[in-house]
Amino acid sequence: MAESETSLKGVKVLIASGGTGGHFYPGWVLGKAVREEGGEVLFVVKKNDMALPKLESDGFAAVEIDMMGLPRAPGLDSLRFLQNFWSSMTLLGNVARAWRPRVAVGMGAYLTFPAVLTAWRFKIPAIIHEANAVYGLANRVSALFVRKIALGMPLQQDDNDPKTRLTGTPIRRALWSLPAVRSAREALALDAEKRTVLVFGGSQGARSLNRIVPEAIASAGLKYPGKIQALHISGGESAAEIEARYGESDRAKVLNYLEKMELAYAAADLVICRAGASTLAEIIALKKPALLIPYPLAAEQHQRLNAQLLSLAGCALMAEERELSAGALAQTCEELLFSNYPGRLEELRQNFSRLHLPEPAEGLEMMLDLIRELSGGAGA
C-alpha cells in the first residue's frame, strides 16, 4: 500500500491527555507513535500539569488549560468551573484556528470535553478513548460529538454504538514483553527462588494496602518460612515503616517508586493492586494473575466495575476493601502460591483470552488506524 494511504506524515493531531498518570501515559504512548509516523502532536494538559516536564523532555509541545472536574453539587465551585470552562474553550478555539489540527483525540477525564467540543465547533473529526469498563462523565457527554470511540476494555453496560472499537489501552513498549523471571528478580535484588508478590496502589488510595498486605505476607511467611517475598511499591509512604510491618527483613523489598515496572511484573507470581484502568491495561497485556482491591472512592465506582469485569471473566480475583482482612488475604496468598500452585495461577492466565482484547502492538495500531481514517491519509 502506498505511503499516502498509510502514513501520518504531516498530520497534526491534538491529544487531550493529562490530569492523572492514568490518563496521561496512554495518550503519551499514542503521541509517540503518531510522531514516529511523521505526524505532529500537540498535547492539551491542565495548568501546571505534572506531565509537563515529561512532555518537555520528550520534545512535545503542549497547551495548558485551567480546567477542573465538574462539581457534583451547586455552589461557588460551579461558578468557577463555568468560568474556567469558557476560558479554556476560548484558548482552544485560538489553537484550532492557528494550529489547524486534522484530528483530535481525548483520552478521558475532564480535559477531554473542551477539546472534543472545540473539535466539533471547528469541524475537526474527533476520537475519544475510554479506558474503564464504564463511561466516565466527560466521555459520556463527549461521545455525542465524536466520530470514533476506542475502548480499553469491554463496557459493563450494553453498547451497540457502531462508532466503538475495542482497541485496549496503549501501554509503554517496555511492557509489551517481559524479561526472564530470574533475571528480573536478580536485578531487583530479590531471592530468585521465592514465590513473589508484587504490591502497589497506583496514584491514589494505597494506604490500606500498605497496612494490610505486609501483615498478610508476614502471616503466610510464618506458615511457609523462607518461601515467600514481596516487592512493595509504597507510593510515597515511608518505605522503612512498611518494611517493618513485614517483620523479617528478607520478606520484602519496599520502594517508594519504580520506573522499570517491567522488572516488577516479570518478577511477580501474583500482583495485589488497585483496579485503575492503566494498571489493568498492563495486567491484561501481560496476563499477570492479580488480586484486585478497587479504590472505594473512585468516581462512579469505575474501579469496582473494572475489577468485576476481570473477575467475571475468571482472569483475576477481586476483594472489596471494606471486607478485606489480613487473615483472609494471607489465606488467598497461601492458596494461590502454595497449596494450588501453579495450577490456579495458570488458570487465571489462560482466562485473559476471554476478554478478546488485542495484543498491545495490535491495539496501538488500531488506534493509529482510526486517526489515519479520520485524517484522510497523509498530511498536506
| pLDDT tens by residue, 34-59 | 999 999 999 999 999 989 999 999 99
Q: What is the pTM of this model?
A: 0.92
Q: What is the pLDDT of residue 156?
A: 75
Strand, coil or helix: 10: coil
Whether 135 is covered by a domain: the verdict is yes
Whether residue 103 sits in one domain with residue 197: no
Q: What is the pLDDT of residue 158?
A: 62
What is the percent of the chain with per-residue pLDDT over 70, rounded to a whole number?
94
Q: What is the pLDDT of residue 4?
A: 42
pLDDT bin (cut points 50, 70, 90) of residue 82 is confident
Whether 302 is covered by a domain: the verdict is yes
Whether residue 249 sits in one domain with residue 295: yes
Between CA 347 and CA 170, with CA 356 as vertex, the angle to 5 degrees is 105
Whether 222 is covered by a domain: the verdict is yes
Alpha-carbon Rg for the chain in angstroms: 22
Whether residue 170 sits in one domain with residue 117: yes
Whether residue 291 sits in one domain with residue 156: no
| pLDDT tens by residue, 239-276 | 889 999 999 989 999 998 899 999 999 999 999 999 99
Q: Mean pLDDT, the chain, as a whole number?
A: 92
Whether residue 74 sits in one domain with residue 39: yes
pLDDT bin (cut points 50, 70, 90) of residue 18 is confident
Domain count for the chain, please give it. 2
Q: What is the pLDDT of residue 203?
A: 52
Whether residue 138 sits in one domain with residue 10: yes
pLDDT bin (cut points 50, 70, 90) of residue 70 is low
Nearest to 267 by CA among 230, 214, 213: 230
Whether 277 is covered by a domain: the verdict is yes
Q: Of all helices (H) and strands (E), which one includes residue 118?
A: helix 112-121
Whether residue 332 sits in one domain with residue 183: yes
The domain that holds 13 is classified in CATH as 3.40.50.2000
Whether 194 is covered by a domain: the verdict is yes
Concatenated DSSP letters for 241-269? HHHHHT-SGGGEEEES--S-HHHHHHH-S
Query: Would you state the cell numbers that stand for residue 238, as one nine-digit string?
Result: 515511608
Q: Taking a C-beta distance cutoff of 8 angstroms, is the pair 237, 214 a contact?
A: no
The CA distance from 26 to 107, in Å, is: 8
Whether residue 35 sits in one domain with residue 97: yes
Whether 380 is covered by a domain: the verdict is no
Whether residue 165 sits in one domain with residue 88: yes
The pLDDT of residue 157 is above 90: no
Whether residue 71 sits in one domain with residue 104: yes
Whether residue 205 sits in one domain with residue 133: no
Least confident range of 66-80, 227-241, 258-272? 66-80
The pLDDT of residue 202 is above 70: no
Mean pLDDT (whole number) for 140-151? 96
Whether 267 is covered by a domain: the verdict is yes
Q: Residue 218: which domain range?
A: 177-355
Nearest to 151 by CA among 138, 174, 137, 170: 170
Whether residue 170 sits in one domain with residue 181: no
pLDDT bin (cut points 50, 70, 90) of residue 151 is very high
Whether 187 is covered by a domain: the verdict is yes
The pLDDT of residue 181 is above 90: yes
